[in-house]
Amino acid sequence: MRYLGDRRYDETEEFRAFSRQLYHASIAAVLRPLHAGMENPVVRRCPDGHFRRVVYDLIAFVADYPEQAMLTGIVREWCPR
């Protein structure tokens, strides 16, 4: 009988691929409302007084080491260089 806490498949390649896909799809769904603002320029007045077209970008992502390893696809405990 299987139950919700069954963790025997956690180390299989299929489960890891599913976990990565689920994570990326979830982040994409959360950030989808910001997508239009990251493609279309907006005219803004800069501190120097000039008007410039601005395209906003999401540049910072805070993650601990295991999450960074998962996002970049590197092997844990290996140097990414």
**pLDDT (tens digit per residue) in 38-50:** 888 889 998 888 9
Count structural domains, the chain: 1
- Is residue 49 situated within a structural domain? yes
Contact 31, 58 (CB under 8 A): yes
Phi, psi (rounded to 5 degrees) for 54: -120, 135
- Is residue 67 situated within a structural domain? yes
- Is residue 64 situated within a structural domain? yes
31 token code pair? 């950030």
- Is residue 62 situated within a structural domain? yes
Whether the predicted model's global pTM rises above the 0.75 cut:
no
- Is residue 7 situated within a structural domain? no
Q: Does residue 58 surpass a pLDDT of 80?
A: no
Contact 42, 30 (CB under 8 A): no
Per-residue confidence (pLDDT) for residue 2, from 0 to 100: 57
Q: Does residue 78 surpass a pLDDT of 70?
A: no
Q: 46: domain range?
A: 13-72
Q: Does residue 15 surpass a pLDDT of 70?
A: yes
